[in-house]
Structure 1
Amino acid sequence: MKFSGINLLDELQRTELADLRDVFNSRRVKKGAIIFSPDQEENLVFIVEKGRVRIYLGYEDKEFTLGILEPGDLYSTHAGCFVQALEDSSLLTTDVQSVKRCMVEIPLFNRTMVRVLGKILQNSFSVIGGLAFKDIYARLAAYLLKEAQVSGIPVDGGFELELDLTIEQLSQILGATRQTVSTLINNMVREGLVVKRARSKWFVPDLKALEDVVNS
């Protein structure tokens, strides 16, 4: 599922926006690379063209993921977060002045920016609340529950979902170690809360059971 729900790449393919497309420059990045950091002076807006990037906060040796952007999603580098490529990716970047022009000519830019930043803010509160009030097991259950509710496919009385995340990436989202998350997932499998069907593909047989873990 897209982070913003709107694909700006499709909009930029419109014939009448050919001149507007020219203000964007393509930037390729390798998997794992830190593309932007809070201390960089570049003040850009970018659209994910290919791949996926992670938006996160870092403090000492801890990282807290606020969102994962997919092709068509929009973000601004002045938000004070780290931006990391989860896989080989490419971004369409432009300066703030050009974005102001985009906002005038394409109202969709405004709505998309508001949606993405609003979602980042919502996820920030979710991260803070999870760290303050939930243990890691409950945070993992809450993450799987949300993914099943938002992007799961109803199958056999439950929901099938594709996380498309490694254990390491999932641990970064949850603010836990890789070993801890791996152990907890195995516990969930033994308890029948989730079933692994293939690489990155999972089946949640009973949403209520996950809800009980979250609310316990």
Structure 2
Amino acid sequence: MKFTGVNLLDELERREMADLRAVFRGRSVAKGEVVFRPDGAEDLVFVVAKGRVRVYLAYEDKEFTLAILNPGDPYSTHSGCYIQALEDGELLVTDVRSVKRCMAEIPLFTRTMVRVLGHILRNSFSIIGGLAFKDIYNRLMDYILSEARSSGTPEGGGRLLSLNLTIEQLSQLMGATRQTVSTLLNDMERAGLMEKRGRGVYFIPDLDALAKAAGDDPK
């Protein structure tokens, strides 16, 4: 699932966005590299062009993932978060001043950024709500249910879902330990809520049953 729901790569290919596309420069990133840190001096806006990056908070030995950004997702370095490449990739980077100028001069970009910010805000509220009101089991089921609905492939009466995340990455996204997430995934399999088909690949036989177990009963 896309973090923002808006693919800025597609927007930047529009003819009327040529001036905006020209202010971005490419930056290659390597798997595992912490590209930006909260204490960094750079005040930049970037769009993921290739690969995926993780946005997370860290304190001492604890980390909590706020989002996984995919190609087309934008973000800003002054958010106070760490930005880490999950795989080799490329970012389109520009300074905040250029973005502000383009927002004033290119109405289409302004409308696009308003939609992007709206999706980011909604996602933030969802994360906060999950941490405040749901335990880790329900947060995990909610996440898998959302991914299955948005990006799962129909198969029979269910959905085939490829999370493209390791157990470690999924545990960071959930704010839990690797062992806890692994145990809960096994519990979901034993309960018949899903079936593991491969590394990070699961078949969800009944979305309604998963929704009911997650406390999101569609009925």
TM-score over 0.5 for the pair: yes
Matched, 1:103 2:108: no
Matched, 1:127 2:119: no
Percent identity between matched residues is 68
Conserved 8 A contact 1:66-1:123: no
Matched, 1:188 2:188: yes
Per the alignment, residue 3 of structure 2 pairs with: 3
Per the alignment, residue 45 of structure 1 pairs with: 45
Conserved 8 A contact 2:5-2:119: no
Tell me, in whole angstroms, the C-alpha distance in 1 between the residues paired with 2:110 and 2:162.
Answer: 30
Report the CA distance shift for 1:123/1:67 in structure 2 as closer, same or farther (over 3 A): same
Matched, 1:163 2:163: yes
Counterpart secondary structure, 1:5: coil
Per the alignment, residue 136 of structure 1 pairs with: 136
Conserved 8 A contact 1:67-1:120: no
TM-score computed with the length of structure 2 as normaliser? 0.87
Report the CA distance shift for 1:88/1:191 in structure 2 as closer, same or farther (over 3 A): same
Residue by residue, what CA displacement relative to the aligned partner does 1:27-83 show, whole Å, maximum 9, x if unpaired? Answer: 111111111122212110111111011122223433222222111221111222221
Per the alignment, residue 69 of structure 2 pairs with: 69
Root-mean-square deviation (CA), in Å? 2.2
Report the CA distance shift for 1:189/1:121 in structure 2 as closer, same or farther (over 3 A): same
Conserved 8 A contact 1:195-1:204: yes
Quick one: which amino acid aligns to residue 46 of structure 2? Answer: F
Conserved 8 A contact 1:3-1:116: no
Tell me, in whole angstroms, the C-alpha distance in 2 between the residues paired with 1:4 and 1:123.
Answer: 8
Aligned residues: 216
- Structure 1 range deviating more: 57-66 or 187-196: 57-66
Shift of 1:195: 1.1
Conserved 8 A contact 2:27-2:92: yes
TM-score computed with the length of structure 1 as normaliser? 0.88
- Structure 1 range deviating more: 173-182 or 100-109: 100-109
Tell me, in whole angstroms, the C-alpha distance in 2 between the residues paired with 1:160 and 1:88.
Answer: 26
Conserved 8 A contact 1:52-1:89: yes
Shift of 1:105: 4.3
Per the alignment, residue 176 of structure 2 pairs with: 176
Tell me, in whole angstroms, the C-alpha distance in 1 between the residues paired with 2:144 and 2:201.
Answer: 12
Shift of 1:102: 2.4
Counterpart secondary structure, 1:215: coil
Conserved 8 A contact 2:17-2:106: no
Report the CA distance shift for 1:158/1:81 in structure 2 as closer, same or farther (over 3 A): same
